[in-house]
Structure 1
């Protein structure tokens, strides 16, 4: 992973280059020499945010690609004995 740092001015002049750099890692954008923003690919953002694809989203895909589906465990308490009293 490569971290790139760009000034706001450079970012404004070469947005395309910043987007290409984001494919290799985060791009820090500075204002007056201090980090102010971070540019990430959507895949990196979703990984950081913990967003996972639901089964419905996976089935709705039209590109036909493979995907990983790791459902969360339901946990205890799903089935309980009936209380007939």
Structure 2
């Protein structure tokens, strides 16, 4: 995965360039040398955002499925037990 950078001027002139680059990783669009937005492929976005799967979908998925469960995000107010 490679990270690319485009100035906002270059992004406005040639948005297809950002779309092509996003196939290989995130594309940071900068304004005055500071990142202002990121262009991602839909696959990368879905990895970050999650895919809103039901519990049944997860439990019936192939065994090689790898995911992380964040209880605090899934259940507001959840507090993990301190076992130390």
Same fold at TM > 0.5: yes
Q: Which runs of 4+ in 1 moved over 2 A?
A: 69-72
> Any idea what the Cα deviations from partners look like across 1:36-56, whole Å, max 9, x if unmatched?
1000011110110112456xx
Question: Residue in 2 aligned with 1:40?
Answer: 40
- Structure 2, gaps ≥5 residues long: 61-84
Root-mean-square deviation (CA, aligned residues, Å) is: 2.1
State how 1:45-56 maps to structure 2 within 5 Å.
45-53=45-53
Structure 2: how far apart are the matches of 1:53 and 1:42? 16
- 1:12-50 CA-to-partner distances (Å, cap 9, x unmatched) read 111001100000000000011100100001111011011
Matches of residues 1-85 of structure 1 in structure 2 within 5 Å? 1-53=1-53, 70-71=58-59
Q: Give the number of the structure whose alpha-carbon radius of gyration is greater.
A: 1
Q: How many residues of Structure 1 are paired with residues of Structure 2 in the alignment?
A: 59
What TM-score, normalized to structure 2? Answer: 0.62
Alignment check: 8 A CA contact 1:7 1:30 kept: yes
For structure 1, the residue ranges without an aligned partner over 5 or more in a row are: 55-68, 73-85
TM-score (norm 1): 0.61
